[in-house]
C-alpha cells in the first residue's frame, strides 16, 4: 500500500509532468511560427517524453494501491523573444523538474518508502540526461547567437530526433 504523503507528492508530480508536456507543446507551436520546424519537432518529442513520465508515475500510483488525482493545468507561456529564450526556458524548466524529483525522493526517504525510492531512481538518472541535453542545446545556440547558417544546421539536426519509449518499467 502506498504511503498517503508519498501518494500526494506523486500526484503533484504527475500533474507537473503533464504541465511540462503542455509547456513544451506551447514552445513547439512558437518554434513552428518562427520557421524552425526541426526545433519544433524536437519539442514535440519532449512532449511525448513528459507524457511518458506522467504515465509512468500514474501507473505506479495505481500499482501501489493509490489513487491518481488530476488537477487543472495552468496556461503555459506562449511568446518568446527568440529561440535562445526558448532554450533558456527549457533548461530552467528541466532544472525545476530535477528539484521536484529530488524533493519527491526526499519525501520517500523520510517516509521510509523503499519501493518508491527505488522507483524514483530512474527519474533521477533521466533528469541528469535531460539537463545535459537541454544545456548543450542552449550552449550551442548561444555560440551561434541564435542565428545564421549554424541555426539552420541545428534545426536540421534536431528534426531527426525520434521518441523511443524506454523498455524499463
In a domain? residue 146: yes
pLDDT band at 169, cuts 50/70/90?
A: low
Q: Average the pLDDT over 114-124 and give the result.
A: 97
Question: What CATH number should be reported for the domain holding residue 31?
Answer: 1.20.1260.10
Q: What's the predicted TM-score (pTM) here?
A: 0.95
pLDDT band at 142, cuts 50/70/90?
A: very high
pLDDT tens-place string over residues 62-113: 999 999 999 999 999 999 999 999 999 999 999 999 999 999 999 999 999 9
Per-residue cell: 65: 494501491
Structural domain that includes position 140: 4-158
pLDDT tens-place string over residues 17-76: 999 999 999 999 999 999 999 999 999 999 999 999 999 999 999 999 999 999 999 999
Contact 82, 42 (CB under 8 A): no
Contact 43, 134 (CB under 8 A): no
Other C-beta atoms lying within 10 Å of the C-beta of residue 167? 5
Q: How far are the Cα atoms of 86, 94, 149 from residue 132, in angstroms, in the given order?
A: 16, 10, 24
Vertex 144: Cα angle to 142 and 150 (nearest 5): 140
How many folded domains does the chain comprise? Answer: 1
In a domain? residue 98: yes
In a domain? residue 51: yes
> Which pLDDT does position 167 carry in this prediction?
72
In a domain? residue 12: yes
In a domain? residue 165: no
Residue 117, classed as helix, strand or coil, is helix
In a domain? residue 168: no
Which one-letter DSSP state was computed for residue 79?
-
In a domain? residue 163: no
Amino acid at each position: 500500500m502506498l504511503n498517503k504523503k508519498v501518494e500526494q507528492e506523486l500526484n503533484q508530480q504527475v500533474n507537473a509532468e503533464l504541465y511540462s508536456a503542455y509547456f513544451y507543446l506551447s514552445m513547439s507551436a512558437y518554434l513552428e511560427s518562427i520557421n524552425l520546424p526541426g526545433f519544433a519537432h524536437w519539442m514535440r518529442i519532449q512532449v511525448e517524453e513528459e507524457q511518458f513520465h506522467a504515465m509512468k508515475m500514474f501507473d505506479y500510483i495505481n500499482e501501489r494501491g493509490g489513487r491518481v488525482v488530476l488537477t487543472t493545468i495552468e496556461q503555459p507561456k506562449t511568446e518568446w523573444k527568440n529561440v535562445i529564450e526558448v532554450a533558456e526556458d527549457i533548461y530552467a524548466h528541466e532544472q525545476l523538474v530535477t528539484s521536484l524529483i529530488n524533493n519527491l525522493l526526499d519525501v520517500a526517504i523520510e517516509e521510509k518508502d523503499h519501493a518508491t525510492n527505488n522507483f524514483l531512481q530512474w527519474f533521477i538518472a533521466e533528469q541528469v540526461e535531460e539537463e545535459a541535453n537541454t544545456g548543450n542545446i542552449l550552449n550551442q545556440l548561444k555560440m551561434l547567437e541564435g542565428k545564421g547558417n549554424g541555426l539552420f544546421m541545428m534545426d536540421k539536426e534536431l528534426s531527426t530526433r525520434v521518441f523511443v519509449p524506454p523498455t524499463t518499467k
